[in-house]
Amino acid sequence: MDIKTEESSPRRTFHELAIESIHVGIMAVDYDGHLLAMNRAAEEMWELPRHEALGKSFLMALAEHDRARMKKTFDYVIRTGRTVSATDIVFENRAGKMLYINAYASPVNYSPDLGVGVAMWTEDITQERKLRMEVQRADKLAALGQLALGISHEVRTPLGTIKALASLIQMNISDPEQVKKYLKVMNNEVSRLDKLSRELLDFGGQKKLNMESVNVNNLINKLVYLGKLNRPDTKVNIEEYLQADLPDIYCDREDILHALMNLVINAYDAVGEEGTIYIETEQKGEWVDIRIKDTGPGIKADCMNKIFDPFYTTKENGTGLGLSIVHTIINDHGGHLDVDSQPGQGTVFTVKLLAEPREAVRP
Protein backbone atom coordinates (compact mmCIF):
# COMPACT_ATOMS: atom_id res chain seq x y z
CA MET A 1 0.00 0.00 0.00
CA ASP A 2 3.10 2.19 -0.01
CA ILE A 3 2.63 3.24 3.62
CA LYS A 4 6.03 3.77 5.27
CA THR A 5 6.59 2.86 8.89
CA GLU A 6 9.64 2.62 11.10
CA GLU A 7 8.88 -1.04 11.87
CA SER A 8 9.98 -3.75 9.48
CA SER A 9 9.27 -7.43 9.89
CA PRO A 10 8.81 -10.52 7.72
CA ARG A 11 5.10 -10.51 8.64
CA ARG A 12 4.65 -6.88 7.49
CA THR A 13 6.66 -7.56 4.33
CA PHE A 14 4.43 -10.55 3.57
CA HIS A 15 1.28 -8.45 4.10
CA GLU A 16 2.55 -5.72 1.79
CA LEU A 17 3.54 -8.25 -0.89
CA ALA A 18 0.12 -9.89 -0.63
CA ILE A 19 -1.68 -6.55 -1.03
CA GLU A 20 0.52 -5.66 -4.01
CA SER A 21 -0.22 -9.03 -5.65
CA ILE A 22 -4.01 -8.82 -5.38
CA HIS A 23 -5.70 -8.12 -8.72
CA VAL A 24 -8.27 -5.72 -7.29
CA GLY A 25 -7.51 -2.08 -6.66
CA ILE A 26 -6.90 -1.26 -3.00
CA MET A 27 -6.73 2.37 -1.91
CA ALA A 28 -6.74 4.42 1.28
CA VAL A 29 -8.20 7.93 1.24
CA ASP A 30 -8.60 10.66 3.83
CA TYR A 31 -11.96 12.09 4.93
CA ASP A 32 -12.13 14.30 1.82
CA GLY A 33 -11.28 11.49 -0.59
CA HIS A 34 -7.60 12.30 -1.28
CA LEU A 35 -5.42 9.27 -2.03
CA LEU A 36 -3.03 8.28 0.77
CA ALA A 37 -1.97 4.84 -0.43
CA MET A 38 -2.67 2.38 -3.24
CA ASN A 39 -1.56 -1.01 -4.53
CA ARG A 40 -0.36 -1.93 -8.00
CA ALA A 41 -3.83 -2.83 -9.31
CA ALA A 42 -5.17 0.58 -8.26
CA GLU A 43 -2.18 2.22 -9.94
CA GLU A 44 -3.05 0.40 -13.18
CA MET A 45 -6.68 1.46 -12.85
CA TRP A 46 -5.62 5.10 -12.58
CA GLU A 47 -3.03 4.67 -15.38
CA LEU A 48 -0.86 7.02 -13.39
CA PRO A 49 2.43 6.40 -11.53
CA ARG A 50 1.84 5.99 -7.82
CA HIS A 51 3.96 8.95 -6.79
CA GLU A 52 1.84 11.18 -9.05
CA ALA A 53 -1.50 9.68 -7.99
CA LEU A 54 -1.03 10.08 -4.24
CA GLY A 55 -2.71 13.25 -3.03
CA LYS A 56 -5.13 13.30 -5.98
CA SER A 57 -8.86 13.34 -5.28
CA PHE A 58 -10.59 10.02 -5.85
CA LEU A 59 -13.96 11.80 -5.73
CA MET A 60 -13.04 14.24 -8.51
CA ALA A 61 -12.28 11.27 -10.78
CA LEU A 62 -15.91 10.16 -10.54
CA ALA A 63 -18.81 11.23 -12.72
CA GLU A 64 -20.65 14.18 -11.17
CA HIS A 65 -23.76 12.18 -10.22
CA ASP A 66 -21.58 9.58 -8.44
CA ARG A 67 -19.39 12.10 -6.61
CA ALA A 68 -22.00 13.12 -4.02
CA ARG A 69 -23.13 9.51 -3.62
CA MET A 70 -19.56 8.33 -2.87
CA LYS A 71 -18.93 11.22 -0.45
CA LYS A 72 -22.06 10.22 1.47
CA THR A 73 -20.77 6.64 1.47
CA PHE A 74 -17.48 7.83 3.03
CA ASP A 75 -19.41 9.85 5.62
CA TYR A 76 -21.59 6.87 6.51
CA VAL A 77 -18.60 4.50 6.79
CA ILE A 78 -16.71 6.85 9.11
CA ARG A 79 -19.78 7.56 11.24
CA THR A 80 -20.97 3.97 11.67
CA GLY A 81 -17.80 1.91 11.32
CA ARG A 82 -19.56 -0.34 8.81
CA THR A 83 -18.37 -1.63 5.45
CA VAL A 84 -20.55 -0.31 2.62
CA SER A 85 -20.63 -1.07 -1.10
CA ALA A 86 -21.26 1.36 -3.95
CA THR A 87 -22.00 -0.21 -7.32
CA ASP A 88 -21.83 0.86 -10.97
CA ILE A 89 -19.71 3.95 -10.27
CA VAL A 90 -18.44 5.81 -13.34
CA PHE A 91 -14.70 6.47 -12.91
CA GLU A 92 -12.49 8.43 -15.31
CA ASN A 93 -8.79 7.67 -15.01
CA ARG A 94 -5.97 10.06 -15.80
CA ALA A 95 -5.78 8.75 -19.38
CA GLY A 96 -9.39 9.84 -19.92
CA LYS A 97 -10.72 6.27 -20.05
CA MET A 98 -14.21 5.77 -18.58
CA LEU A 99 -14.53 2.71 -16.35
CA TYR A 100 -17.40 1.23 -14.37
CA ILE A 101 -16.32 0.08 -10.93
CA ASN A 102 -17.75 -1.39 -7.75
CA ALA A 103 -16.23 -0.04 -4.54
CA TYR A 104 -16.30 -1.47 -1.02
CA ALA A 105 -15.37 0.97 1.73
CA SER A 106 -14.34 0.42 5.37
CA PRO A 107 -13.11 2.89 8.03
CA VAL A 108 -9.42 2.96 8.94
CA ASN A 109 -7.39 4.92 11.50
CA TYR A 110 -4.41 5.89 9.40
CA SER A 111 -2.85 8.45 11.75
CA PRO A 112 -3.40 9.54 15.38
CA ASP A 113 -2.93 13.14 14.25
CA LEU A 114 -4.99 13.13 11.06
CA GLY A 115 -7.91 10.98 12.22
CA VAL A 116 -10.08 8.49 10.37
CA GLY A 117 -10.03 7.73 6.67
CA VAL A 118 -11.44 5.06 4.40
CA ALA A 119 -9.89 1.92 2.96
CA MET A 120 -11.41 0.71 -0.30
CA TRP A 121 -11.09 -2.21 -2.59
CA THR A 122 -12.42 -1.70 -6.07
CA GLU A 123 -13.18 -3.96 -9.00
CA ASP A 124 -13.34 -2.92 -12.63
CA ILE A 125 -16.67 -4.21 -13.96
CA THR A 126 -16.53 -2.40 -17.32
CA GLN A 127 -16.34 -5.57 -19.42
CA GLU A 128 -18.83 -7.40 -17.21
CA ARG A 129 -21.26 -4.51 -17.54
CA LYS A 130 -20.75 -4.40 -21.31
CA LEU A 131 -21.55 -8.13 -21.55
CA ARG A 132 -24.56 -7.66 -19.29
CA MET A 133 -25.89 -4.87 -21.50
CA GLU A 134 -25.36 -7.02 -24.61
CA VAL A 135 -27.31 -9.88 -23.01
CA GLN A 136 -30.10 -7.45 -22.09
CA ARG A 137 -30.21 -6.16 -25.67
CA ALA A 138 -30.34 -9.74 -26.98
CA ASP A 139 -33.18 -10.53 -24.58
CA LYS A 140 -35.08 -7.46 -25.77
CA LEU A 141 -34.61 -8.47 -29.40
CA ALA A 142 -35.79 -11.99 -28.61
CA ALA A 143 -38.91 -10.51 -27.01
CA LEU A 144 -39.73 -8.31 -30.02
CA GLY A 145 -41.62 -11.09 -31.79
CA GLN A 146 -43.85 -11.67 -28.76
CA LEU A 147 -44.19 -7.91 -28.31
CA ALA A 148 -45.26 -7.41 -31.94
CA LEU A 149 -47.92 -10.12 -31.63
CA GLY A 150 -49.23 -8.57 -28.42
CA ILE A 151 -49.36 -5.08 -29.91
CA SER A 152 -51.15 -6.40 -33.00
CA HIS A 153 -53.82 -8.09 -30.89
CA GLU A 154 -54.27 -5.17 -28.49
CA VAL A 155 -54.55 -2.59 -31.28
CA ARG A 156 -56.69 -4.58 -33.71
CA THR A 157 -59.39 -5.37 -31.14
CA PRO A 158 -60.44 -1.76 -30.36
CA LEU A 159 -59.90 -0.73 -34.00
CA GLY A 160 -62.28 -3.49 -35.08
CA THR A 161 -64.83 -2.27 -32.55
CA ILE A 162 -64.53 1.34 -33.75
CA LYS A 163 -64.89 0.27 -37.39
CA ALA A 164 -68.02 -1.77 -36.64
CA LEU A 165 -69.57 1.07 -34.63
CA ALA A 166 -68.84 3.56 -37.42
CA SER A 167 -70.82 1.35 -39.79
CA LEU A 168 -73.70 1.13 -37.28
CA ILE A 169 -73.73 4.92 -36.93
CA GLN A 170 -74.07 5.25 -40.70
CA MET A 171 -77.05 2.90 -40.60
CA ASN A 172 -78.67 4.62 -37.58
CA ILE A 173 -77.75 8.24 -38.27
CA SER A 174 -81.39 9.31 -37.79
CA ASP A 175 -81.52 7.86 -34.25
CA PRO A 176 -79.58 10.33 -32.02
CA GLU A 177 -79.87 8.22 -28.86
CA GLN A 178 -78.46 5.12 -30.54
CA VAL A 179 -75.67 7.17 -32.14
CA LYS A 180 -74.85 8.61 -28.70
CA LYS A 181 -74.43 5.10 -27.27
CA TYR A 182 -72.18 4.08 -30.15
CA LEU A 183 -70.05 7.21 -29.76
CA LYS A 184 -69.60 6.53 -26.04
CA VAL A 185 -68.26 3.05 -26.76
CA MET A 186 -66.00 4.45 -29.49
CA ASN A 187 -64.65 7.04 -27.06
CA ASN A 188 -63.86 4.28 -24.54
CA GLU A 189 -62.01 2.29 -27.19
CA VAL A 190 -59.98 5.36 -28.21
CA SER A 191 -59.09 5.90 -24.54
CA ARG A 192 -57.97 2.29 -24.37
CA LEU A 193 -55.71 2.80 -27.38
CA ASP A 194 -54.32 5.97 -25.83
CA LYS A 195 -53.54 4.12 -22.59
CA LEU A 196 -51.85 1.34 -24.55
CA SER A 197 -49.67 3.80 -26.48
CA ARG A 198 -48.55 5.54 -23.27
CA GLU A 199 -47.75 2.24 -21.57
CA LEU A 200 -45.81 1.07 -24.62
CA LEU A 201 -43.70 4.23 -24.40
CA ASP A 202 -43.08 3.55 -20.70
CA PHE A 203 -42.23 -0.11 -21.37
CA GLY A 204 -39.85 0.46 -24.25
CA GLY A 205 -38.52 3.91 -23.37
CA GLN A 206 -34.83 4.59 -22.80
CA LYS A 207 -35.18 7.93 -21.07
CA LYS A 208 -32.37 9.23 -18.89
CA LEU A 209 -33.07 8.85 -15.19
CA ASN A 210 -33.32 12.11 -13.25
CA MET A 211 -31.67 10.88 -10.05
CA GLU A 212 -32.08 12.72 -6.74
CA SER A 213 -32.39 12.08 -3.00
CA VAL A 214 -36.01 11.21 -2.21
CA ASN A 215 -37.79 10.97 1.14
CA VAL A 216 -39.64 7.66 0.90
CA ASN A 217 -42.41 8.42 3.41
CA ASN A 218 -43.23 11.74 1.71
CA LEU A 219 -43.44 9.83 -1.57
CA ILE A 220 -45.85 7.34 0.00
CA ASN A 221 -48.06 10.18 1.29
CA LYS A 222 -48.30 11.54 -2.25
CA LEU A 223 -48.95 8.02 -3.56
CA VAL A 224 -51.90 7.53 -1.19
CA TYR A 225 -53.33 10.95 -2.13
CA LEU A 226 -53.12 10.16 -5.86
CA GLY A 227 -54.58 6.70 -5.30
CA LYS A 228 -57.65 8.13 -3.57
CA LEU A 229 -58.07 10.70 -6.34
CA ASN A 230 -57.93 7.89 -8.89
CA ARG A 231 -60.68 5.89 -7.14
CA PRO A 232 -62.92 8.49 -5.41
CA ASP A 233 -66.09 6.37 -5.36
CA THR A 234 -64.79 3.20 -3.72
CA LYS A 235 -64.98 2.25 -0.04
CA VAL A 236 -61.46 0.84 -0.09
CA ASN A 237 -59.45 1.78 2.99
CA ILE A 238 -55.71 2.53 2.79
CA GLU A 239 -53.65 2.06 5.95
CA GLU A 240 -50.06 3.34 6.18
CA TYR A 241 -47.38 1.92 8.47
CA LEU A 242 -44.30 4.02 7.79
CA GLN A 243 -41.01 3.64 9.65
CA ALA A 244 -39.85 6.92 11.17
CA ASP A 245 -36.35 8.23 10.46
CA LEU A 246 -36.16 6.24 7.24
CA PRO A 247 -33.08 7.00 5.08
CA ASP A 248 -33.63 8.61 1.69
CA ILE A 249 -33.30 6.66 -1.53
CA TYR A 250 -31.41 7.87 -4.61
CA CYS A 251 -33.82 7.53 -7.52
CA ASP A 252 -35.86 9.10 -10.28
CA ARG A 253 -38.78 10.39 -8.19
CA GLU A 254 -41.39 10.31 -10.96
CA ASP A 255 -40.40 6.85 -12.20
CA ILE A 256 -40.60 5.30 -8.73
CA LEU A 257 -43.91 7.06 -8.06
CA HIS A 258 -45.21 5.73 -11.38
CA ALA A 259 -44.13 2.17 -10.48
CA LEU A 260 -45.71 2.35 -7.02
CA MET A 261 -48.89 3.86 -8.47
CA ASN A 262 -49.22 0.89 -10.82
CA LEU A 263 -48.99 -1.44 -7.81
CA VAL A 264 -51.60 0.58 -5.89
CA ILE A 265 -53.99 0.55 -8.87
CA ASN A 266 -53.53 -3.23 -9.07
CA ALA A 267 -54.36 -3.45 -5.36
CA TYR A 268 -57.53 -1.37 -5.89
CA ASP A 269 -58.55 -3.68 -8.73
CA ALA A 270 -57.88 -6.74 -6.57
CA VAL A 271 -59.98 -5.69 -3.55
CA GLY A 272 -62.94 -4.43 -5.60
CA GLU A 273 -65.42 -2.00 -4.04
CA GLU A 274 -64.54 -2.79 -0.43
CA GLY A 275 -61.37 -3.98 1.22
CA THR A 276 -58.09 -2.72 2.62
CA ILE A 277 -54.73 -1.80 1.13
CA TYR A 278 -51.74 -1.68 3.47
CA ILE A 279 -48.63 0.32 2.59
CA GLU A 280 -45.54 -0.22 4.75
CA THR A 281 -41.98 1.12 4.72
CA GLU A 282 -39.05 -0.38 6.57
CA GLN A 283 -35.26 -0.25 6.46
CA LYS A 284 -33.52 -3.61 6.26
CA GLY A 285 -29.75 -3.14 6.31
CA GLU A 286 -28.73 -1.27 3.17
CA TRP A 287 -32.20 -1.59 1.67
CA VAL A 288 -35.47 0.27 2.04
CA ASP A 289 -38.50 -1.99 1.64
CA ILE A 290 -41.83 -0.66 0.39
CA ARG A 291 -44.63 -3.21 0.78
CA ILE A 292 -48.07 -2.90 -0.80
CA LYS A 293 -50.54 -5.48 0.52
CA ASP A 294 -54.15 -6.04 -0.43
CA THR A 295 -57.02 -8.12 0.95
CA GLY A 296 -58.05 -9.33 -2.49
CA PRO A 297 -58.48 -12.92 -3.70
CA GLY A 298 -54.78 -13.45 -4.36
CA ILE A 299 -53.03 -14.68 -7.52
CA LYS A 300 -53.56 -18.20 -8.82
CA ALA A 301 -50.49 -20.43 -8.68
CA ASP A 302 -50.46 -21.01 -12.46
CA CYS A 303 -50.43 -17.24 -13.05
CA MET A 304 -47.54 -16.35 -10.72
CA ASN A 305 -44.75 -17.05 -13.22
CA LYS A 306 -46.48 -14.99 -15.94
CA ILE A 307 -47.51 -11.79 -14.17
CA PHE A 308 -44.41 -9.83 -15.28
CA ASP A 309 -44.68 -10.97 -18.92
CA PRO A 310 -45.62 -8.20 -21.38
CA PHE A 311 -49.30 -8.33 -22.40
CA TYR A 312 -50.22 -11.00 -19.85
CA THR A 313 -53.37 -9.90 -18.04
CA THR A 314 -56.36 -11.39 -16.26
CA LYS A 315 -58.28 -8.09 -16.40
CA GLU A 316 -61.03 -7.57 -18.94
CA ASN A 317 -59.71 -4.15 -19.98
CA GLY A 318 -56.06 -4.53 -18.98
CA THR A 319 -53.12 -4.06 -21.35
CA GLY A 320 -50.84 -6.47 -19.50
CA LEU A 321 -48.02 -3.92 -19.37
CA GLY A 322 -48.44 -2.46 -15.87
CA LEU A 323 -46.34 -4.99 -13.94
CA SER A 324 -43.80 -5.23 -16.78
CA ILE A 325 -43.29 -1.47 -16.47
CA VAL A 326 -42.93 -1.74 -12.67
CA HIS A 327 -40.37 -4.53 -13.06
CA THR A 328 -38.38 -2.52 -15.63
CA ILE A 329 -38.32 0.65 -13.50
CA ILE A 330 -37.19 -1.16 -10.34
CA ASN A 331 -34.49 -3.05 -12.25
CA ASP A 332 -33.24 0.21 -13.79
CA HIS A 333 -32.73 1.49 -10.22
CA GLY A 334 -30.74 -1.58 -9.15
CA GLY A 335 -33.60 -2.71 -6.93
CA HIS A 336 -35.70 -5.85 -6.55
CA LEU A 337 -39.41 -6.55 -6.93
CA ASP A 338 -40.83 -9.52 -5.02
CA VAL A 339 -44.37 -10.87 -4.91
CA ASP A 340 -46.01 -13.17 -2.38
CA SER A 341 -49.57 -14.33 -2.93
CA GLN A 342 -51.82 -17.18 -1.91
CA PRO A 343 -55.33 -17.73 -3.30
CA GLY A 344 -57.82 -16.30 -0.82
CA GLN A 345 -55.14 -14.53 1.24
CA GLY A 346 -54.36 -11.42 -0.77
CA THR A 347 -51.12 -10.29 -2.41
CA VAL A 348 -47.98 -8.53 -1.20
CA PHE A 349 -45.63 -6.70 -3.58
CA THR A 350 -42.30 -5.69 -2.04
CA VAL A 351 -40.11 -3.07 -3.70
CA LYS A 352 -36.52 -3.09 -2.42
CA LEU A 353 -34.36 -0.02 -3.16
CA LEU A 354 -30.90 0.85 -1.85
CA ALA A 355 -30.88 3.29 1.05
CA GLU A 356 -28.78 6.39 0.55
CA PRO A 357 -25.98 6.65 3.17
CA ARG A 358 -26.57 9.49 5.60
CA GLU A 359 -24.26 12.47 5.99
CA ALA A 360 -21.81 12.26 8.88
CA VAL A 361 -20.51 15.02 11.10
CA ARG A 362 -16.81 15.48 10.39
CA PRO A 363 -14.71 14.23 13.33
Residue 355 CA to residue 182 CA, distance in Å, equals: 52
Contact 98, 124 (CB under 8 A): no
Per-residue pLDDT of the chain (363 residues; tens, 9 = 90+): 444 444 456 666 777 777 887 888 898 888 888 898 889 888 888 888 888 888 888 888 888 878 888 888 888 888 888 888 888 888 888 878 888 988 899 888 755 555 678 888 888 888 888 888 777 666 665 655 555 555 655 566 667 777 777 887 778 777 788 888 878 877 777 776 766 666 566 555 556 778 888 999 999 998 998 888 777 778 889 999 999 999 999 898 888 998 998 899 889 988 988 889 999 999 998 899 999 999 998 887 777 777 777 665 666 555 566 788 888 889 888 899 999 988 888 999 999 998 887 654 434
The H-or-E segment that residue 194 falls in is helix 176-204
Nearest 5°: phi and psi at 285? 65, -125
Residue 295: predicted pLDDT: 92
CB atoms within 10 A of CB 145: 9
Residue 278: predicted pLDDT: 96
One DSSP character per residue, 36-99 reads EEE-HHHHHHHTS-HHHHTTSBTGGGB-HHHHHHHHHHHHHHHHH---EEEEEEEEE-TT--EE
Residue 5: predicted pLDDT: 42
Q: β-strand 237-242 against 276-284: which pairing, if any?
A: parallel
One DSSP character per residue, 272-336 reads TTS-EEEEEEEEETTEEEEEEEE-S----GGGTTTTTSTT---STT--S-HHHHHHHHHHHTT-E
- What the chain holds in terms of domains, given with CATH numbers, is 10-125 (3.30.450.20), 210-362 (3.30.565.10)
Residue 361: predicted pLDDT: 40
Residue 322 CA to residue 199 CA, distance in Å, equals: 7
Residue 156: predicted pLDDT: 63
Count of all residues that appear for the chain in the document: 363
